[in-house]
Amino acid sequence: MGKLHPEIDSTTADFIRAQRLFFVGTAPAGSTGRVNVSPKGLDTFRILDPRTVAYLDLTGSGIETVAHLRDNGRITFLFCSLENAPRILRLYGRGEAIEPGDPEFESLEAGFPRYDGTRTIIRVSVERIADSCGYGVPMFRYEGERPQLCQWAERKGPRGLARYRADNNRKSVDCLPGLRRTGSTVVDDH
């Protein structure tokens, strides 16, 4: 049976930290536009306090999460146990994308490992914490992290990443504004 939690307690925090994979779901405001669900891995998730979490958003081909947060702030995280006792945990909240150059970026970034491809930090105020059984989720064994994303970002270098973001991360698939900055350049949304 499902259970609601008033905050991220130590048991819930331990469960979150043990997961090697989590999913992020967002959607634009209104009845049109595409719902986005993104899988995330690596060591990119942090619990900042019992009602606040953050994760490193690494450079990728889309910018849906950032665009949706800028549009309406709604976000859901899903963690599911793939190796041990079955459990699904969802964190519902309101988030914001903090970009390099924003006042809080450096202090938040200090709490994470360094990744060449970091483009934003997504910080979320958690409004609802709910878990359920996870009996329908299959079991998998963790074999390790895929190296390709980090290798790709390293090969691109800072200038190549800035160019890539300018070309691919300025607008969502629904043409919502994405990144405000693409390296040292501030993007005009209008």
Q: Is residue 177 part of a domain?
A: no
Q: Is residue 186 part of a domain?
A: no
Q: Is residue 173 part of a domain?
A: no
pLDDT at 181: 81
CB within 8 Å of 180: residues ≥ 6 apart: 99, 186, 187, 189
Q: pLDDT at position 52, please?
A: 98
Q: In which domain, by residue range, is 11 found?
A: 3-168
Q: Which two tokens stand for residue 100?
A: 């390099």
In a domain, 26, yes or no: yes
pLDDT at 186: 45
Position 72 in a domain: yes
CATH code at position 159: 2.30.110.10
Using left for φ > 0, alpha for ψ between -120 and 50, and beta otherwise, residue 163 falls in: alpha
pLDDT score recorded for residue 189? 44
Number of domains in the chain: 1
What is the pLDDT, as a whole number, of residue 106? 97
What is the chain's pLDDT, residue by residue, as a tens digit (190 residues)?
A: 589 999 999 999 999 999 999 999 999 999 999 999 999 999 999 999 999 999 999 999 899 999 999 999 999 999 999 998 999 999 999 999 999 999 999 999 999 999 999 999 999 999 999 999 999 999 999 999 999 999 999 999 999 999 999 999 999 999 999 999 876 444 444 3
Q: Which amino acid is at 70?
A: R
